[in-house]
């Protein structure tokens, strides 16, 4: 199913539908917009018909200088079966040739009082958000000291219980069980919860609890940028776990690499505190303070001094 249709723009930006009502369910598949100025001059070789078309004062002023036959032909060429809609901005008068072409082809013709540049910016931001690549990951997303931490692991390893302890310690739950992630930029991932299970947390033996009802509105948030992945796994005696933190593992989600830390789980380990410290340490690293690197440098200096003696 298309994520965005023309009718969504009408509702979101309170635009007036002038004609082409039968086409308001046309899908919008790209966040790129088009201001068909060169098309008004008759050059349609590279006309991006699949984009939302914006006609502002500049385009319409030039259009008014054309001959009557040219105006009719240009507007018919502008309205194609792939065109999601044509928007006349700044409250400009709709040319009768455009109105006629819209009625003949069924292309929705919209009108907005906003300035062209302002509307273009808002439309682009809205479409980029709605059309961003998305995926769903099994895990729990928690906001810890401003760091979006995705806790993953096999079923029953203790992800939700750890998240509950983190919420009790003052942090905020974003999503439990299923985390919907969208890529808003080349290196920006934003996680949120499916609407059906928003603010809910499942604890085995206890059932489903509503975190916002129990702990208040300050214990939840609707979405959060994902910065760190912490993977929980049962302790394996044969596996060598990182003890210094010098090697930084990455996890690829959609097209973005996210720092990943693997934490072994066994009785006696306070995972909530460890994850809390991991988030703080991650913030320190982004500020340029790397404790593991500093220790390594001090160790190498001590070795060099020992050799000289």
For the annotated catalytic residues, the residue numbers are 138, 159, 177, 243
Which DSSP string do the residues of 116-174 spell out, in sequence order?
HHHHHHHHHHHHHHHSS-EEEEESEEEEETTEEEEEEESTTSSHHHHHHHHHHTT-EEE
Nearest CA to 253 out of 87, 139, 106, 166 is that of: 139
Q: How far apart are CA 294 and CA 284, in angstroms?
A: 13
Residues annotated in the binding site for Mg(2+), as ranges? 160, 202
Unique residue bearing structure tokens 């001959």: 67
3-state secondary structure of 28: coil
Tokens linked to 303: 């070795």
Nearest CA to 30 out of 123, 169, 156 is that of: 123
Q: Output the CA–CA distances (angstroms, integers) from residue 65 to 41, 44, 60, 61, 143, in the order listed.
A: 10, 18, 9, 7, 57
- Other Cβ atoms closer than 10 A to 14: 10
Nearest CA to 98 out of 51, 59, 124 is that of: 59
- Per the CB < 8 A criterion, the answer to whether 228 and 258 are in contact is yes
Tokens linked to 49: 């018909």
Q: How far apart are CA 12 and CA 218, in angstroms?
A: 28
How many residues belong to the chain? 309
260 phi and psi angles, rounded to 5 deg: -125, 135
Residues annotated in the binding site for ATP, as ranges? 153-160
Residues annotated in the binding site, as ranges? 153-160, 202
Which residues lie below 8 Å from residue 15, measured CB to CB, with a gap of 6+?
Answer: 9, 87, 110, 111, 112
């Amino acid at each position: 199913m298309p994520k965005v249709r023309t009718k969504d723009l009408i509702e979101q930006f309170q635009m007036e539908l002038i004609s082409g009502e039968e086409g308001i369910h046309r899908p919008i598949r790209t966040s790129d917009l088009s201001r068909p100025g060169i098309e008004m001059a008759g050059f349609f070789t590279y006309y991006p018909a699949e984009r939302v078309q914006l006609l502002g004062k500049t385009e319409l002023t030039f259009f008014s200088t054309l001959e009557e036959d040219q105006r009719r032909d240009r507007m018919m060429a502008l309205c194609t079966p792939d065109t999601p809609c044509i928007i006349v901005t700044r409250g400009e008068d709709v040319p009768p040739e455009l109105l006629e072409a819209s009625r003949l082809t069924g292309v929705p013709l919209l009108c907005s009082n906003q300035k062209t540049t302002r509307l273009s910016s808002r439309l682009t931001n809205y479409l980029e958000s709605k059309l961003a690549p998305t995926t769903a990951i099994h895990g729990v997303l928690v906001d810890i000291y401003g760091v979006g931490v995705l806790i993953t692991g096999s079923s029953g390893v203790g992800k939700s219980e750890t998240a509950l302890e983190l919420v009790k310690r003052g942090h905020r739950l974003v999503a439990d069980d299923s985390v919907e992630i969208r890529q808003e930029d080349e290196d920006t991932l934003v996680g949120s919860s499916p609407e059906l299970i928003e603010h809910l947390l499942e604890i085995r033996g206890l059932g489903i609890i509503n975190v916002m009802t129990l702990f208040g509105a300050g214990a939840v948030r609707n979405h959060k940028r994902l910065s760190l992945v912490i993977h929980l796994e049962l302790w394996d005696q044969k596996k060598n776990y990182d003890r210094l933190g010098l090697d930084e593992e990455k996890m690829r989600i959609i097209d973005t690499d996210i720092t990943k830390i693997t934490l072994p789980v066994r009785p006696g380990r306070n995972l909530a505190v460890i994850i809390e410290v991991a988030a703080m340490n991650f913030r320190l690293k982004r500020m340029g303070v790397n404790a593991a690197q500093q220790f390594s440098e001090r160790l190498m200096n001590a070795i060099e001094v020992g050799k000289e003696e």
